[in-house]
């Protein structure tokens, strides 16, 4: 929600947010037509080509569209290397779930191959993050050994 500057609205309304992207250059703009005419034929590069680029990032520009009156405005943000709009919220166990899914086939085959409880507990103590541990009961959940993680 932000203030809408549209003539009909002028209220604090919800807006649809997208990231601004530069449009495709027109082949028929006067400067492009002039440049192409000058470049044609023999003679090589006729205009200077800039090489001393100093900036490594661009400023992020957001395009806000009012959901009530469809008025569009742009809002520029600071420079940043990486920008993500509406990405997934970071959850506590997201990385853990990824690691678990990554190594699960190897762990599952090891569990099937090794039936000895002593060896299994040794393995679990080495890789505690890959197994669900019940701290209240101080034991590993047996049903999680042969099933994929949820």
Burial of 100 (0-12, 13-18, 19+ CB in 10 A): buried
The total number of structural domains that make up the chain: 2
Residue 128 lies in a domain: yes
> Which residue in this structure is represented by tokens 């028929």?
28
For position 32, which CATH number holds?
3.10.450.80
Percent residues over pLDDT 70 in the chain: 59
Q: Which residues pair with 38 in a beta bridge?
A: none
**What count of other Cβ atoms lies within 10 Å of the Cβ of residue 66?**
21
Return d(Cα 122, Cα 104) in angstroms, integer: 17
- Over residues 47-82, the pLDDT tens digits come to 999 999 999 999 999 999 999 999 999 999 999 999
> Which residue in this structure is represented by tokens 């997208």?
18
Residue range of the domain that includes 40: 2-79
**Pair 26, 70 in one domain:** yes
Could you tell me the pTM of the whole model?
0.53
Q: Where are the beta strands (DSSP E) in 20-58?
A: none
Residue 84 lies in a domain: no
145 versus 17: the higher-pLDDT residue is 17
Q: Which of 149, 52, 138 is nearest to 98 (CA)?
A: 149
* Mean pLDDT score of the chain: 78
């Amino acid at each position: 929600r932000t203030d809408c500057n549209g003539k009909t609205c002028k209220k604090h309304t919800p807006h649809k947010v997208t990231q601004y992207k530069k449009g495709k250059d027109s082949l028929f703009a006067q400067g492009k037509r002039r440049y192409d005419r000058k470049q044609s034929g023999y003679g090589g590069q006729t205009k200077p080509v800039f090489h001393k680029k100093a900036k490594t990032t661009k400023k992020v520009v957001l395009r806000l569209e009012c959901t009530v009156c469809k008025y569009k405005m742009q809002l520029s943000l600071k420079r940043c290397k990486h920008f993500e709009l509406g990405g997934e919220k970071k959850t506590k166990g997201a990385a853990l779930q990824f690691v678990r899914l990554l190594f699960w086939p190897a762990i599952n085959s090891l569990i099937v191959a090794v039936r000895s409880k002593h060896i299994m507990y040794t393995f679990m103590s080495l890789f505690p993050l890959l197994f669900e541990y019940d701290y209240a009961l101080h034991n590993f959940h047996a049903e999680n050994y042969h099933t994929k993680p949820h």
